Structure 1
Amino acid sequence: MRLHKSERPASRMHGGTDTLGKPAYDFSTNSNALGPCPEVLTQIRLSDCASYPDPDYHSLRNALAAWHQVSPQRLMFAASASEFIFRMSMLVGQIDQRGRLAPSQKNVWIPPHSYGDYVLAGRAAGLNVVEDFRAADLIWACEPGSPLGQNQAGLAQMIMAKSDKAQLVLDCAYQPLRLSGSASLSSQQRDACWQLFTPNKALGLTGIRGAYVIAPLQAEVWQQELEQMAASWPLGSHAVTMLSAWTLPSVQNWLLKSLETLREWKQRQIALCADLGWQIEPSDTNFFCVTPSRKIQEHRTDFLHAMRAQGIKLRHAGSFGLDACFRMRVLSPPMQDAFHRAVKQYSPHF
């Protein structure tokens, strides 16, 4: 199938809660539908919110470093993945080729179908979006990526061929939600990237914001600049608790069991979409893209409003450059059935 591209909007578009409140059947986000993880949720509710966290996050830093088997000095923290995306973009827009702060025109490369904040952050930082990653000062990668849930084509070759001055950030948000396939990079290749982690999606806790980054080897100067650009206490108590719990064997076991269930649910949901005549794009994650019937595409706004009135929210993938598609996360069988019935009831209107 040929995916139809559309222009990326200048405004932010997200799934989840909207002006109508929290959807009863929310297919529009990428969060783990088995969440929230009970153990992490309990710990968050018991968090000490009466005191500041350690501003340097020593315990959390050491725990994450040990879990990833890297030096604690390579760990950084961010208020969210989006906050780091903007911070890195701003820094790239300021540093010249000799490592000195000096404003000049810089370039950014962004995957063809990817998170809109990469573009928005680049615009805010005055970066020029280029089609050839070899000309970029900043390169964004995401594996598996959103909205397609697939590995990024040619990522390993990109790391080898990029210019020495270019910073490559690997967004790892969906790696913990991988249901099939495997990562394309070796540990040595990952050490050449900035690795950005946001466990809240995998834990089903997207209401808790907080991220961490593993810096590349020999990136101390860049790391110092990024640290100086950060606000004090980027992580609040709830985020510290969530990220600390992320390393616990019991929490990781919960995640693995949830992935087993999601694999079964995904196959069922794909079958229901196929029954509707929708075309399904391949995906390795708990979300995938579908192309609905031509009539639904032509009346997309009315269709989405009709679904939302019944508590069903879908994510139009136009903001990712896929105008014909919806992105759907995998939900439980009862929610899948509600979606299937609603579309069947709507279809006779055409």
Structure 2
Amino acid sequence: MACPWAGEREPHGGPDAQGPARFDFSSNGNAAGPLRSVARAVRCADRSRYPDPGYNALRERLAAAHDVDPARVVIAGSASEFVHRITHGLALRGRARRALVPEPGYQEYRDAAALDGLAVSASAAAAWAAPHGGDLLWLTEPASPSGATAIGALGAGIARARRAGAVVVIDLAYQPLRLDGQALPAEVDDAWQLWSPNKACGMTGVRGAYAIAPRGTEASAAALRARAPSWVTGVDGVALLEAFAGAQAQDELARSLARLRRWRSALAALLKAAGWQTREAASVTPFFMARSPAPIDFAALRARGIKLRDTTSMGAPGWVRVSAQPPLALAALAEAIGRPAASLRTGARVAGDSQ
């Protein structure tokens, strides 16, 4: 079978071959971070030793934070690593023959399915299409690149898929960053929950994630733990996950969300004033989709230290994903797209907005 990647991998947000962008609107990491308590824990991690290969204390801490049995917790090297591990495991056992993936959406779901020879159904409505036994249903809540939420339909969708015999995985990478405060419905307990809090921590360079298996599927969780490479995440990832589960990190996150709301409003106002089409009203996250009134010269922007996330590889050609950034970055973007910095009225610096 041909590799789904023709040469180079599809681009991601964040650093590229040119290194980090000074003004990076392409990354979904918390631009008001890093969370200080998490950064301190990572700095203090003992890198002279291996972590516990079973991650027992970490799984107990995460289980307590989610009020679940530790036997349901699976540690992962990253969200992407888990996407491939669960897809491969289900394909090998004959539990998955088709992947239902959102479009626009994260390319990794489709890539993992293609590598294991699964059929792929990708559409905006794939999440709520009639699933069948043998389906691997991927949901992202809130969604990327749009930041939109389907939380009102999530519980019913999970229940319908489970009755049909499908395996449901909800990617919750952006749940900690949601700006509307909506909690997840109880039905998520019947789906795989994939959490990768490095984005919320503002520390995307620290790799580490975890999944919570559906209730009653502890054997499946154990099987996926057994399929992991030894020491699938290092001590810095362990430190990040442990610290993020603590009350101090959650307090710091809540304060950062207030700042991100202001920055997102300023970004949307800037783009609208420049004639861009924006979809921030549909987003419950610090990022949203936008379309320029003219073709974007990505190379010219990159030369000015500015990076936007082209969403073509995510199934939304002609659009970009942009994330809330500090006032200095907004001023640079305003200059680059021909708007005076004075137009950033809603982005004027306020107390605490020193970044």
TM-score normalized with structure 2 length: 0.87
Specify the alignment match of 2:140 in structure 1: 142
Distance 1:67 1:78 in 2: 17
Partner deviation per Cα, 1:175-211 (whole Å, 9 max, x = no partner):
010012624x422x01110001001000000000000
Contact 1:37 1:204 (C-alpha < 8 Å) held by counterparts: yes
Specify the alignment match of 1:174 in structure 2: 174
User: What code does the residue aligned with 1:272 have?
Assistant: L
- SS of the aligned residue for 1:213 comes to strand
Distance 1:221 1:94 in 2: 16
Specify the alignment match of 2:252 in structure 1: 254
- SS of the aligned residue for 2:200 comes to coil
Specify the alignment match of 1:120 in structure 2: 111
Relative to structure 2, which stretch is displaced further, 229-238 or 197-206?
Answer: 229-238
Distance 2:130 2:197 in 1: 28
Relative to structure 2, which stretch is displaced further, 17-26 or 151-160?
Answer: 151-160
Q: 1:314 aligns with which of 308, 318, 335?
A: 308
User: What code does the residue aligned with 1:178 have?
Assistant: R
Task: Report matched runs for 1:30-109 at 5 Å.
Answer: 30-96=28-94, 106-109=97-100
Relative to structure 2, which stretch is displaced further, 155-164 or 122-131?
Answer: 155-164
- SS of the aligned residue for 1:134 comes to coil
**Residues 343 and 9 of structure 1: is their aligned pair in 2 closer, same or farther, counting only changes over 3 Å?**
farther
Distance 1:61 1:190 in 2: 19
Structure 2 gaps of 5+ residues are 340-355
User: What code does the residue aligned with 1:339 have?
Assistant: L
Deviation at 1:164, TM superposition (A): 4.3
Structure 1 gaps of 5+ residues are 1-7, 98-104, 346-350
Q: 2:22 aligns with which of 24, 38, 46?
A: 24
CA RMSD of aligned residues (A): 1.9
**Residues 9 and 288 of structure 1: is their aligned pair in 2 closer, same or farther, counting only changes over 3 Å?**
farther
Distance 2:160 2:43 in 1: 47
User: What code does the residue aligned with 1:283 have?
Assistant: S
Partner deviation per Cα, 1:49-80 (whole Å, 9 max, x = no partner):
11111111122111111111111111110000
Relative to structure 2, which stretch is displaced further, 252-261 or 52-61?
Answer: 52-61
Deviation at 1:23, TM superposition (A): 0.4
Are 1:287 and 2:274 matched, yes or no? no
- SS of the aligned residue for 1:83 comes to helix
Deviation at 1:304, TM superposition (A): 0.6
Q: 2:329 aligns with which of 324, 335, 340?
A: 335
Deviation at 1:247, TM superposition (A): 1.5
Tell me the matched-pair count: 324
Partner deviation per Cα, 1:218-269 (whole Å, 9 max, x = no partner):
2133223212211111121100100110122111111000001111111111
Are 1:271 and 2:269 matched, yes or no? yes
- SS of the aligned residue for 1:201 comes to helix
Are 1:159 and 2:153 matched, yes or no? no
- SS of the aligned residue for 1:170 comes to strand
Deviation at 1:319, TM superposition (A): 1.1
Contact 1:12 1:117 (C-alpha < 8 Å) held by counterparts: no
Deviation at 1:9, TM superposition (A): 7.4
- SS of the aligned residue for 1:169 comes to strand
**Residues 64 and 148 of structure 1: is their aligned pair in 2 closer, same or farther, counting only changes over 3 Å?**
same
Distance 1:198 1:181 in 2: 18
Distance 1:235 1:316 in 2: 29
